[in-house]
């Protein structure tokens, strides 16, 4: 039986979003619909991974020095192939590629896309949630092939952002600046149906997500904040830890249940002196989503993530993201006010 919720498909929602902009040409709608197809293809492969001889390492390391898994390669190729000839994108950037990725000549469109094809690679082989994250901007250059400057725009200029999480079910969450909606893939019909309309992140929570193994490297600001959450205070109950190790999965959990995720700078950082997470492919798109859902995303020195103008494609950024009151409390510690 068709449940009430199976009424609204992701394509219909994308069309409805377009109707809010009478000046829209349908290009963004086309782009998002192509991304949905890429997400379905990747989801099918992830579900079959143990059988399709696609688990394990590819034998390559990426520009971040991380081992590239075979599924990373598959997801990256899938998105690039769909985007390069969808006719709506002028240039791309992927967490897995050193440089900008051109689109096919004659297919240049008005948008740019930056994406992390498969976030949480180390969880691929063990059936833990992983996901694709994307960030879309309008191009700055006039026409033809886009360039790196088209991609190096601050997060506040994003026209759409989202992720597809491959977990116990496959869920796509996206925003075009009019709220955040989540869609669950029904594999029996191959369609995403609206399952989480107008997501609002709880104002405060009982959960924090951080890699606590790094506690001995933390600055006092991070240590004191986490201690405060763990102890509780007055009306605030002690918080519990939830850390999956795939940002997209930790973020999704916190978006739905409430929580705060941190990946701050620490004393050991060295080459990761800006933390680990990437501004273009991870922090900026998730920041747009969290703000649209009523939450906040800042750096560990209190800058709004969406205001940061990237100076290179693979820029890293310290990230504190989640429920508004939790992030505000973190900010007080980071600014030395506690």
Give the distance between the most distant pair of CA atoms in the chain.
Answer: 63
127 belongs to the binding site for ligand AFP (CB under 6 A):
no
Of 122, 240, 312, 338, the one binding ligand AFP (CB under 6 A) is: 122
Indicate whether 246 belongs to the interface with ligand AFP (CB under 6 A).
yes
- Part of the chain binding ligand AFP (CB under 6 A), chosen from 76-84, 100-108, 195-203, 245-253: 245-253
Q: Which stretch binds ligand AFP (CB under 6 A): 77-85, 106-114, 242-250, 326-334?
A: 242-250
Which residue among 245, 257, 269, 325 contacts ligand AFP (CB under 6 A)?
A: 245
Helical (H) or strand (E) element with 322: strand 319-322
Positions 52 through 81 that interact with ligand AFP (CB under 6 A): 66
The DSSP code sequence of 76-120 is HHHHHHHHHTSSSEEEEEETT-SS-EEPPTT---SEEEEEEEEE-
132 binds ligand AFP (CB under 6 A): no
* DSSP structural state of residue 300: T
Closer by beta carbon to ligand AFP, 35 or else 249 = 249
Sign, CA dihedral 281-282-283-288, equals positive
**150 vs 112: CA distance, rounded Å:** 7
201: its two tokens: 């992140």
SS3 assignment, position 195? strand
Closest CA to 96 of 73, 120, 124: 73
CB of 105 to ligand AFP, least distance (A): 32
Rounded to the nearest whole angstrom, what is the least distance from the CB of residue 66 to ligand AFP in the complex? Answer: 5
Residues in region 288-307 near ligand AFP by CB under 6 A? none
By CB under 6 A, name the one of 108, 119, 291, 326 that touches ligand AFP: 119
Q: Is residue 47 left, alpha or beta, with left meaning phi > 0 and alpha meaning psi from -120 to 50?
A: alpha
Q: In whole angstroms, give the CA distance from residue 130 to residue 190.
A: 19
Instruction: Check: CB of residue 293 under 8 Å from CB of residue 201.
Output: yes
Q: Does 276 bind ligand AFP (CB under 6 A)?
A: yes
Pairing verdict, β 111-119 and 89-94: parallel
Q: Is 260 in the site for ligand AFP (CB under 6 A)?
A: no
Taking CB under 6 A as the binding criterion, the range among 29-37, 116-124, 195-203, 225-233 that sits at the site for ligand AFP is: 116-124
Closer by beta carbon to ligand AFP, 122 or else 240: 122
Q: How many chain residues interact with ligand AFP (CB under 6 A)?
A: 11
CB of 308 to ligand AFP, least distance (A): 18
- Contact between 68 and 54 under an 8 Å Cβ cutoff? The reply is no
β-sheet bridge partners, residue 147? none
Of 127, 178, 211, 273, the one binding ligand AFP by CB under 6 A:
211
Residue number, 273 or 338, with CB nearest to ligand AFP: 273
Candidates 120, 275, 318, 322; binder of ligand AFP (CB under 6 A) is: 120
Nearest to ligand AFP of 129, 221 (CB atom): 129
Taking the complex as a whole, the smallest distance from the CB of residue 55 to ligand AFP amounts, in Å, to 14
Q: Report DSSP state, residue 7.
A: G
- Are the C-beta atoms of 319 and 299 separated by less than 8 Å? yes
List residues binding ligand AFP (CB under 6 A).
66, 119-122, 211, 245-247, 276-277
């Amino acid at each position: 039986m068709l449940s009430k919720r199976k009424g609204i498909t992701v394509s219909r929602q994308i069309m409805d979003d377009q109707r809010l902009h009478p000046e829209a040409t349908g290009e963004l709608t086309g782009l998002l619909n192509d991304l949905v197809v890429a997400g379905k293809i990747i989801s099918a492969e992830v579900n079959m991974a143990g059988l399709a001889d696609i688990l394990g390492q590819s034998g390559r390391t990426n520009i971040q020095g991380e081992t590239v898994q075979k599924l990373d390669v598959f997801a990256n190729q899938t998105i690039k192939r769909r985007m390069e000839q969808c006719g709506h994108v002028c240039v791309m950037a992927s967490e897995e590629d050193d440089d900008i990725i051109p689109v096919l000549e004659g297919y240049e469109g008005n948008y740019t896309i930056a994406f992390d094809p498969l976030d949480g690679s180390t969880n691929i082989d063990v059936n833990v949630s992983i996901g694709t994250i994307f960030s879309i901007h309008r191009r700055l250059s006039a026409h033809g092939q886009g360039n790196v400057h088209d991609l190096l725009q601050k997060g506040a200029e994003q026209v759409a952002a989202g992720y597809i999480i491959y977990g116990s079910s496959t869920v796509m969450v996206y925003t075009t600046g009019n709220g955040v909606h989540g869609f669950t893939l029904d594999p029996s019909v191959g369609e995403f149906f609206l399952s989480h309309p107008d997501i609002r992140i709880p104002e405060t929570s009982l959960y924090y997500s951080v890699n606590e193994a790094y506690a001995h490297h933390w600055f006092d600001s991070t240590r004191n904040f986490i201690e405060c959450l763990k102890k509780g205070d007055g009306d605030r109950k002690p918080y519990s830890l939830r850390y999956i190790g795939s940002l997209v999965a930790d973020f999704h959990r916190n978006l739905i249940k409430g929580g705060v995720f941190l990946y701050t700078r620490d004393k050991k950082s060295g080459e990761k002196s800006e933390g680990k997470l990437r501004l273009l492919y991870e922090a900026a798109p998730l920041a747009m989503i969290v703000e649209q859902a009523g939450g906040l995303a800042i750096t560990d020195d209190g800058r709004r993530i969406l205001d940061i103008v990237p100076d290179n494609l693979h820029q890293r950024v310290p990230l504190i993201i989640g429920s508004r009151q939790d992030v505000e409390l973190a900010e007080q510690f980071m600014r030395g006010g506690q």
